Structure 1
Amino acid sequence: MTWTANGCFVTLAILFLWRGEDVAEACSCSPAHPQEAFCNSDIVLRGKVVGKQEVDAGNDVYGNTIKRIKYDIKQIKMFKGPSNDIDAIYTAPISAVCGVTLENNGKEYLITGKLKSDGTMHITLCDFIKPWDELSETQKKSLTERYEMGCGCKITRCTSIPCMISSPAECLWTDWLIMKTVNGGQAKHFACIKRSDDSCAWYRGSAPPKKDFMDIEDP
């Protein structure tokens, strides 16, 4: 599974028949840096799937039953979220409406998602969801040491030249421009951290940054 962004939006794109219901939607996501996914999520946890079932989630405006996939999970570590353990995660049943497929084979995941008013966690394809062993060591450490320090910064994605920032509190994300992937060096090894003067800059390293630091530091 590849990681995706945290800002999901649905576009009218395709028309197909699923379980007798007409669905005229497709899932489309705008890429986000892992730090953005962390900051914009209600819940960030490490866990693995231990069960799966399809459940009813009420009715839509036409009276049709809404289906959801319920993943029973074993929470290994909570990085951001409520004090109680999350033991189930809900998602749409098909990818066309942003439903997520997780493997029930002992694989551990980093999962970000939203907390609903009823206390349940919900995920979409636009959340940052990735097998734990595919994360870089810097990404793993940043979940507890660095990403939260940069939640007051803005990461601006650069896809073509020219690209620029509009304020000192922004970091320019150039992975797609330079490496043709959103999972490049800045996503794997950097965090955008606020300095003492309220400006923001990229920081590289596994330890928390010093009070004042250069734009790029060695691990």
Structure 2
Amino acid sequence: MTWSISSCFITLVVLFLWRIEDVAEACRCAPVHLQQAFCSADVVIRAKVVGVKAVSGNTNYYVQQIKMFKGPDRVIHTIFSSSSSASCGVTLELTKEYLFTGRLNTDGKMLIGMCDFIQYWEDLNGTQRKSLTQRYQSGCDCTIIRCSSLPCPVSAPDECLWTDWLLADGQSGPQAKYSACLKRSDGSCAWYRGMAPSKK
């Protein structure tokens, strides 16, 4: 009888741990280049977190919008996120300035999650900050393909291979921090570190 109870207890523990692991893995996000995040987002803003309130499974972050790079013709005062990390909820720091990319729901509320690009404003370099005002938008017709292992073939002329991942640099690599994938005059796309696409 003792053996049976022990076995039952062990089984329950294993099932519980499996369930915890399953929940923890419920939110998985593929890394994205800031340009990709900009192009796919409904809203891109620089804002400072000035307050927070938990409301029925969600977290409302009250923000002071500093600049809108993309979005509706109004000021964003509140950003909404799930309170659960398993549902891709995010935790933000009060008084910190962030770059937020997010979505608008049918009510016009700005929603954010772990799969959105959210970064301290101070951690963005000058090239990234300037690219938010024009360069990324002009490259939204291009497609960035993350390359983490060779071979990484380009299947269309409007694609740029994001190869920072081959050297494990990822989002700290030169393409992520200093380059944008832009369309050239012939319709193809290429990485460029200046303010206009290469003519070559």
TM-score normalized with structure 1 length: 0.79
Q: Would you say the 8 A contact 2:52–2:60 is kept in 1?
A: yes
1:139 aligned to 2:143?
Answer: no
1:125 equivalent among 104, 114, 137: 114
| Deviation (angstroms), 1:169 | 0.4
Aligned ranges 1:1-219 → 2 under 5 Å: 15-16=19-20, 26-56=26-56, 67-104=57-94, 106-205=95-194, 208-209=195-196, 212-214=198-200
Identity rate, percent: 55
Amino acid at match of 2:40: N
Q: How many residues align?
A: 183
When residues 161 and 168 of structure 1 are mapped into structure 2, their CA distance, relative to the original with a 3 A threshold, is same
When residues 14 and 183 of structure 1 are mapped into structure 2, their CA distance, relative to the original with a 3 A threshold, is farther
The answer for the alignment partner of 2:10 in structure 1 is none
Query: Please, which runs of 5 or more residues in structure 2 have no aligned partner?
Result: 1-16
Equivalent-residue separation in structure 1 for 2:106 and 2:131 (angstroms): 28
| Deviation (angstroms), 1:180 | 3.8
When residues 173 and 109 of structure 1 are mapped into structure 2, their CA distance, relative to the original with a 3 A threshold, is same
Instruction: Please say which structure displays the higher CA radius of gyration.
Output: 2
Equivalent-residue separation in structure 2 for 1:150 and 1:79 (angstroms): 15
Q: Would you say the 8 A contact 1:15–1:25 is kept in 2?
A: no
| Deviation (angstroms), 1:25 | 5.8
Q: Which has the higher helix share?
A: 2
Q: Would you say the 8 A contact 1:14–1:25 is kept in 2?
A: no
Q: Which has the higher strand share?
A: 1
The superposition leaves residues 67-87 of structure 1 with CA deviations (integer Å, 9 ceiling, x where unpaired) of: 100000000000000010000
Equivalent-residue separation in structure 1 for 2:99 and 2:181 (angstroms): 20
TM-score normalized with structure 2 length: 0.86
When residues 204 and 99 of structure 1 are mapped into structure 2, their CA distance, relative to the original with a 3 A threshold, is same
Q: Would you say the 8 A contact 1:14–1:26 is kept in 2?
A: no
Query: Please, which runs of 5 or more residues in structure 1 have no aligned partner?
Result: 1-12, 17-22, 57-66, 215-219
Equivalent-residue separation in structure 1 for 2:55 and 2:142 (angstroms): 39
